[in-house]
Structure 1
Amino acid sequence: MDQLDRFNRRYNFLPKISAAFFYSLAVAVALNFFWTPGHMYSSGITGFAQLINTLSERYLPFTLTTSMMYFALNVPLFIVGWTKIGHKFTYFTVTTVILGSIMMHLIHPINMHLDPLVCAIFGGMINGLGTGFALKNGISTGGIDIIGIVIRQKTGTSYGKVNILINLIIIAAAGFVFGWTRAFYSALTIFINGRVIDAVYTQHQKMQVMVVTSHPQAIIDGIQDRMHRGITILHDAEGAYSHIEKTVLVTIIDRYDMYDILNIVKKADPYAFMSVSEDERVYGRFKEQEIV
């Protein structure tokens, strides 16, 4: 029991498995309740799996199911995750993909005559929520997620934007297979999916934090111990009202770190002034939080 507890603390096992299970339910519901009845394609590898499923139904004597192709198309990308991102990350990605494939197979499509706009909106929202939650817990849903993370690490481009750009080919495929009206709805669900992912998965968003304090060293120690962030120190600042000498600290963090830095500042100096603003781009030496 003690060994299991240590394993869970070290690898954050239960939250990651919970996130993987939540994603598998989300993608299965989005696919079988909204995208398949609405005759539209989803984003990423799931969309390519749908496309192969449609083509096999039309032109082959046998059917390649979406759940089967979702797993098969992810296998080469497991290697990318293993070599470019991290081993533990890849272990959980494989688990997530397997769970997703199983749920896609077990949860069957339902015959609902919903407006395609409803299918596009709800399918994109549900899948985006599941994907964003998985990424926020340090696991990938496979496919485009892996490619998106690698590109984000190299360029700083947000995951959702990468997702949208890569999926343009799926929109074109939807147009040729289902007609351009359905291509529009596929584009809409992909866009919503990407925006929801960005709303949930906020680690890539950079924030500039400026702290005016009388106790700079305690704040510096807390930030460097907890987040390992660089800090610029501006000495001899003076308050216009009190004329008390202050120190200004400036640092860049991930939005994901906001809760931690707020607690550090409050604990070190309850009377500190802190200003936070979102940065569009960060150039120079900024270390991304590692995914292992």
Structure 2
Amino acid sequence: MVSTTHTHKHRSFGRYYLKTLFWFILGGFLAALGIEVFLIPNQLVDGGIVGISMMAAHLFGKPLLPYFLILFNLPFAVLAYKQIGKHFVIQMVTAVVAFSLSLVAFYWVPLWLGRPPFEFHGEAIEIIVIGGFIIGCGVGLIIRHGGSTDGTEILGILINRRKGFTIGQVILFVNIFVFAMAGVVYHNWHSALMSLMTYVVATKVMDMVIVGFEDTKSVMIISGMPQHLANVLMEELGIGLTVMYGRGGYTGDAREIIYIVIERLQLAELKEIIHREDPEAFIAIENLHEVINGRQNSNFHQLPPSV
């Protein structure tokens, strides 16, 4: 019986990762399509680490873009491993590698086939809307399934813990710097403005792809093994939770309900743990726009006192 249960969990685990990998590959392909076909040929950049990597590749050679992307994200992956956890780092590295391989393919495949590179040159509005839409879809798919292609958000989390700036403010400051540098690197402030507009479109599309994308979520779980599941969640995620008591409306059976306030970056791992421990558990997830006197940040991204 134990062996059968273990095998079932192992297979469910495998399907979960294969499904996640599929979305990362598709998202990476779409993001690379938008960047290689719409942005780079028109001297536009994306925001964050991706934009910095694009400018470095412009200065030192376009084929180096995937390598710059991995190199510049590496320090943030190390920080994320220390402050967020191994699962998120695995998701992030997988997404960045999938994205980078797609960038490699878009550059080298046309050369191997003896064809000109895939490039779109059109009206500014076409580049902004179509390019931004494709990039937003790609990045949105990756984030929706627990990954990340950019270390800027991790930087925002760490600065938020130490200096009090919000994550959104940090990302905004970084992107202002990136788009200002784009004007200098390309010697074209029109390109910098177009880059900003494309980024706005991509962000709006990304928010639509990521259903209910917020920094903080509330999760309610009804499980047949509530105490065991609560202990596993507290141990593996390092979070606090509340156990409430309810009664089934139809059966009248008493039930224990687990209630958690959690940050988005932990949501994928939370669902993975629940699926692993109790595949039949009922899960309800809601966006939280404000939490007062709560511990939703508890020790999730808390820097150790020595840092």
TM-score by length of 1: 0.65
Seen in structure 2, the aligned counterparts of structure 1 residues 153 and 128 have a Cα distance that, compared at 3 Å, is: farther
Say which of 159, 166, 181 aligns to 2:190: 181
Aligned pairs for 1:1-292 within 5 A = 6=10, 8-9=12-13, 12-57=16-61, 65-108=64-107, 109-148=117-156, 157=166, 162-176=170-184, 177-199=186-208, 200=210, 202-204=213-215, 230=242, 280-287=289-296
Seen in structure 2, the aligned counterparts of structure 1 residues 132 and 139 have a Cα distance that, compared at 3 Å, is: same
Larger radius of gyration: 1
Moved more, 78-87 or 136-145: 136-145
Moved more, 69-78 or 125-134: 125-134
Q: CA deviation at 1:232?
A: 9.7
Mapped contact 2:28–2:139 kept (Cα < 8 A): no
Mapped contact 2:131–2:198 kept (Cα < 8 A): yes
Q: CA deviation at 1:143?
A: 2.3
Seen in structure 2, the aligned counterparts of structure 1 residues 190 and 150 have a Cα distance that, compared at 3 Å, is: farther
Q: CA deviation at 1:136?
A: 2.1
What corresponds to 2:256 in structure 1?
none
AA matched with 1:204: D
TM-score by length of 2: 0.63
Structure 1 residue runs without a partner (length 5+): 58-62, 210-217, 234-250, 261-276
Output one character per residue of 1:16-67: Cα deviation in whole Å (capped at 9) or x when no partner. Answer: 212211221022101111101221011122111110111225xxxxx66212
Seen in structure 2, the aligned counterparts of structure 1 residues 132 and 112 have a Cα distance that, compared at 3 Å, is: closer
Mapped contact 2:31–2:137 kept (Cα < 8 A): no
Paired-residue identity, %: 20
Moved more, 37-46 or 135-144: 135-144
AA matched with 2:26: F
Q: CA deviation at 1:196?
A: 3.0
Mapped contact 1:43–1:170 kept (Cα < 8 A): yes
Q: CA deviation at 1:83?
A: 0.8
Q: Distance in 2 between matches of 1:37 and 1:103?
A: 17
Mapped contact 2:261–2:296 kept (Cα < 8 A): no
Q: Distance in 2 between matches of 1:204 and 1:104?
A: 29
Q: Distance in 1 between matches of 2:292 and 2:142?
A: 28
Q: Distance in 1 between matches of 2:294 and 2:16?
A: 28
Q: Distance in 2 between matches of 1:92 and 1:51?
A: 25
Mapped contact 1:140–1:146 kept (Cα < 8 A): no
Moved more, 190-199 or 172-181: 190-199
Seen in structure 2, the aligned counterparts of structure 1 residues 134 and 112 have a Cα distance that, compared at 3 Å, is: closer
AA matched with 1:85: I
Seen in structure 2, the aligned counterparts of structure 1 residues 123 and 230 have a Cα distance that, compared at 3 Å, is: farther
Q: CA deviation at 1:133?
A: 2.1
AA matched with 1:141: T
Q: Distance in 2 between matches of 1:195 and 1:162?
A: 18
